[in-house]
Amino acid sequence: MSAADGEAAPAQTVLPDGDRPLACVLGWVGVKERHLRKYTSLYTSRGIDVLALLSTPAHVAMPLARGRASAGRIAEALGSSGNEARPLLVHGFSVGAYMYGNLLIELGLRGGAGAAVAHRIRGLAFDSAVDYNGVPFGLSRAIAGAEGTLLQRSVHAGLDLFLSP
């Protein structure tokens, strides 16, 4: 599932029905499809279907409008009829761990249907999960494209203010 800005297509339009295992791959901020291809091919070569999220800065900067909305579409796809028997694996990179948290919230909001999806999760893999304190640095680099520039430092400072309690 591509998560380009403005895209609101339901994930199930690209997720085939079936009972094969499913890996939900949650990419890092700014990830491109070609970057995730080597990871998704590890799964598909073993007969595991993949649902991938291409995370954007908006998923973090606008957590309700973008982060939770995308997680809601993923939850909808995972719980759709035709997919209810699939064992699930979640593989998150960096901010993908944050998106997994959003997914858990969305599953919780769906009551019994969300619990049924959560009970199908058979494995979790997280690579370089970002913590709360790492968000301003990582997100500012993803937006500015380089460390130490005026733009990167300005975005970093703005995010520090935005996220401070």
**pLDDT value of position 145:** 83
**pLDDT value of position 1:** 41
Closest CA to 103 of 126, 135, 136, 137: 126
Record the tokens describing residue 26, joined without a space: 């949650």
pTM value is 0.83
- Residues in CB range of 14: below 8 A, 6 or more apart: 1, 51
- Residue-wise pLDDT tens digits, 53-105: 999 988 888 888 899 999 999 999 999 888 888 999 999 999 999 899 999 99
**pLDDT value of position 14:** 61
- CB neighbours of residue 81 within 10 Å: 7
**pLDDT value of position 18:** 80
Record the tokens describing residue 67, joined without a space: 């982060």
At 52, give phi and psi (nearest 5°). -115, 145
